[in-house]
């Protein structure tokens, strides 16, 4: 199984949401191997921030206005759609997409081997339809017939199990999963002329940029001497502002420098694409490449 990045009950993990703030009471995942289609219905969304009305949360409004980009991990899937169902104070979502190869479902934590689909099972996952059985630690679906399973919210995340459900006040505002920006934090980044390739020596730029994004504070150390405040936004976007106080930073323009970051862990490469604040990449600007490997 791959590292878990997509959580069926957390819609923000399907998108480039810096800190997801909506969680579903339960999600029903349906897979049709004949149509090669996946449908995920997230039922009864719950806010995990101070604003308890789901419809008024920033994340819901961004989803509704289609302001969030799908995560790159889902690029392999086609016909991706998300739809919203509102019924009074209850909000549900439906995510659907198609796939070419069943092995691609590994990305959403559904394994395929020997004509069987499987997913890691715990007390909050149960099979619903199809020919399935438990083969610890997996829930296994046999054959190439449609199947479905259900994932429910953790009990400790709820204030109580009495409707209307509310998120545990003790955890309000805390990250449900890793922030998207955690991908760049805590790494020493050395600028290269081109994207690094595994097994090859990085093409380092003489006197190029060196960056270190702090893990627990919002600053980036530039060229081992300048601490510059950094801000993180949705759509894998970060801001490095260069002001009069730090205008001497070589390699960055004076003013607001917005970038969309993309980490390629396999090739030890981080790319910063110049963008606007909304995470729209500026096609007329050249990307900056960095190696995550220490320069010898």
Question: Within this chain, do residues 172 and 188 fall inside the same structural domain, yes or no?
Answer: no
Distance CA 171, CA 19 (A): 14
Question: Within this chain, do residues 268 and 128 fall inside the same structural domain, yes or no?
Answer: no
Which residues make Cβ contacts (< 8 Å) with residue 239, sequence separation at least 6? 230, 231, 232, 233, 256, 257, 258, 259, 277
| Residue 5 placed within a domain | no
Q: Please determine, for residue 17, whether its predicted confidence score (pLDDT) is greater than 70.
A: yes
How many domains does one find in the chain? 2
Q: Please determine, for residue 232, whether its predicted confidence score (pLDDT) is greater than 70.
A: yes
- pLDDT class of 59 with cuts at 50, 70, 90: very high
Dihedral of the CA atoms 2, 14, 260, 18 (nearest 10)?
-100
- Which of 116, 149, 176 marks a domain boundary? 176
| Residue 296 placed within a domain | no
Average pLDDT, the chain: 94
| Residue 4 placed within a domain | no
- Which of 136, 155, 176 marks a domain boundary? 176
The pair of three-digit structure tokens given for residue 174, joined into one six-digit string: 């805390």
CATH number (domain holding residue 196): 2.40.128
Mean of pLDDT values over 242-246: 77
**From the CB of residue 162, how many other CB atoms can be counted at a distance below 10 Å?**
8
269: domain range?
181-291
Q: Please determine, for residue 26, whether its predicted confidence score (pLDDT) is greater than 80.
A: yes
- pLDDT class of 248 with cuts at 50, 70, 90: low
Question: Within this chain, do residues 152 and 285 fall inside the same structural domain, yes or no?
Answer: no
3-state secondary structure 252-293: CCCEEEEEEEEEECCCCEEEEEEECCCCCECCCCCCEEEECC
If one compares 58 and 143, the residue with the highest pLDDT of the two is 58
Distance CA 142, CA 149 (A): 13
C-alpha Rg value of the chain to the nearest Å: 21
DSSP secondary-structure letter at 186?
Answer: T
- Largest interatomic CA distance in the chain: 66
Question: Within this chain, do residues 109 and 255 fall inside the same structural domain, yes or no?
Answer: no
- pLDDT class of 1 with cuts at 50, 70, 90: very low
- pLDDT class of 236 with cuts at 50, 70, 90: very high
The pair of three-digit structure tokens given for residue 75, joined into one six-digit string: 């690029």
| Residue 2 placed within a domain | no
Question: Within this chain, do residues 129 and 185 fall inside the same structural domain, yes or no?
Answer: no
First to last CA, the chain: 34
pLDDT value at position 7? 95
Mean of pLDDT values over 115-121: 95
Question: Within this chain, do residues 116 and 203 fall inside the same structural domain, yes or no?
Answer: no
**Could you read off the pLDDT of 29-56 as tens digits, one per residue?**
999 999 999 999 999 999 999 999 999 9
Q: Give the lowest-confidence range in 6-10, 17-21, 115-119, 157-161.
A: 157-161
- Which of 135, 155, 176 marks a domain boundary? 176
Percentage of the chain exceeding pLDDT 70: 98
pLDDT value at position 286? 94
pLDDT value at position 139? 97
Mean of pLDDT values over 100-127: 95
Distance CA 211, CA 292 (A): 10
Distance CA 106, CA 104 (A): 5
**Could you read off the pLDDT of 176-209 as tens digits, one per residue?**
999 999 999 999 999 999 999 998 999 999 989 9
């Amino acid at each position: 199984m791959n590292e878990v990045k997509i959580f069926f009950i957390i819609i923000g993990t399907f998108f480039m949401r810096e800190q997801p703030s909506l969680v579903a009471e339960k999600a029903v995942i349906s897979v049709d191997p004949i149509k090669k289609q996946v449908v995920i219905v997230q039922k009864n969304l719950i806010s995990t921030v101070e604003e308890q009305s789901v419809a008024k949360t920033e994340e819901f409004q961004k989803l509704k206005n289609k302001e969030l980009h799908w995560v790159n991990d889902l690029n392999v899937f086609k016909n991706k759609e998300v739809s919203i169902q509102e019924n009074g104070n209850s909000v549900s979502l439906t995510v659907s997409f198609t796939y070419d190869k069943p092995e691609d479902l590994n990305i959403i934590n559904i394994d395929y081997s020997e004509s069987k689909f499987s997913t890691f099972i715990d007390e909050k996952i149960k099979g619903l339809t199809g020919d399935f059985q438990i083969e610890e630690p997996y829930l296994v679906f046999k054959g190439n017939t449609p199947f479905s399973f259900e994932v429910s919210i953790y009990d400790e995340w709820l204030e109580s199990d009495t409707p209307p459900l509310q998120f545990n006040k003790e955890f309000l505002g805390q990250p449900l999963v890793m922030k998207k920006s955690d991908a760049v934090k805590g790494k020493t980044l050395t600028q290269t002329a081109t994207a690094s390739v595994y097994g090859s020596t990085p093409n380092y730029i003489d006197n190029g940029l060196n960056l270190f994004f702090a893990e627990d504070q919002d600053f980036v150390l530039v060229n081992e001497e300048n601490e510059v405040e950094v801000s993180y936004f949705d759509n894998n976007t970060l801001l490095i502002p260069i002001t009069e106080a730090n205008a001497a930073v070589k390699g960055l323009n004076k003013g607001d420098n917005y970038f969309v970051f993309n980490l390629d862990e396999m090739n030890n490469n981080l790319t910063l694409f110049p963008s606007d604040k909304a995470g729209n990449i500026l096609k007329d600007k050249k990307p900056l490449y960095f190696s995550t490997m220490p320069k010898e």
